[in-house]
Amino acid sequence: MNRTVLGRTGLEVSVAGLGAGGGSRLGRATGKSFDESVRLVHAAVDLGVNFIDTAPIYGTEPIIGAALAAIPRDRVVVSTKAWENWRSRDADARAIASLDRSLRDLKTDYIDVFHLHGVAPGDYVDAVKVLPALLREQEKGKIRWLGITEYPPGDHRHEMLRQGFEDDWFDVAMLAFSMLNQNARSRSFPGTRKYRIGTLIMFAVRNIFSFPGRLQAALGELADRGEVPDWLAAEKDPLGFLIHPEGAGDIIEAAYRFCRHEPGVDVTLFGTGDLDHLKRNIESLTRPPLPDADRRRLVELFGALEGVGLEHGMAKT
């Protein structure tokens, strides 16, 4: 497993991060038992994954807590979140209560990265008002590093993160980036790199690449608006140019490799529900970059798009 340093945290992390949410939720969404999901976490760690991301809303913190019981705590970096009504009067107390519940469910004394979850641009000013309270919890040793995550469906241009760069509150940021949603390259990564903010990538695959027909439908709408060439909408396999002996084996692999090797990306998150899928995702994320010609073509075709593939919903990966 390839490792990198997560921004100014200094944490040495795997470039592939196990996401415990999405449509898989460690297999719980597809009928896996609690124990099967615990074994999946163990398998990921055995394969070199040391970054695990969860949140109370995913319902997977107890699974990870059970898995951690058999893993030396310093062998993994655990990320979780608090998702609150940031405009409420007691948002700080609720965030601390969420932190304490996470500590109990994860069966740990500290959270490596604790995020404000899904902060929309209009909520940023209110959300950061809870930080003094969280900094006090950090002083107690409950939190090592503070993070913040975007709300991609409502923040296509990464406006929330751009508000936060100058404030310099956050050590880690989770943001959306993919083959069809590349504008973080110009709108986010210059700031995260300048301030040495660790980056976690979500929406690298999601529905648009993993569900048959979604990509073609999206490209059809984009062609109708003049945002991509008409021939892409007419193609049965519009990204087929990525699949060749020197390139990717399939679109999912291409999507992960595209994100993982983008300058400014630290950890690319993936979800999974079974062991074979886990292995395929890790293999994709540890392969070399896409050929230069393929990457340039992706940038040429899709580099100007915004907000594509950021819908909520059940994803296979």
For 224: left if phi > 0, alpha if psi spans -120 to 50, otherwise beta; the answer is alpha
The pLDDT value given to residue 164:
87
Within a 13 Å sphere around the CA of 272, how many CA atoms are in the beta-carbon half?
26
Distance from first CA to last CA of the chain, Å, rounded? 19
- Please state the pTM of the whole predicted model: 0.94
Average pLDDT over every residue of 242-253: 96
88 is written with which tokens? 């409420």
Q: Which CATH superfamily is domain 3-302 in?
A: NADP-dependent oxidoreductase domain (3.20.20.100)
Instruction: Give the chain's mean pLDDT.
Output: 94
pLDDT tens by residue, 171-206: 999 999 999 999 999 999 999 999 999 999 999 997
| E-only strand ranges, 155-255 | 172-176, 198-202
Instruction: Give the residue extent of every domain in the chain.
Output: 3-302
Distance CA 5, CA 267 (A): 9
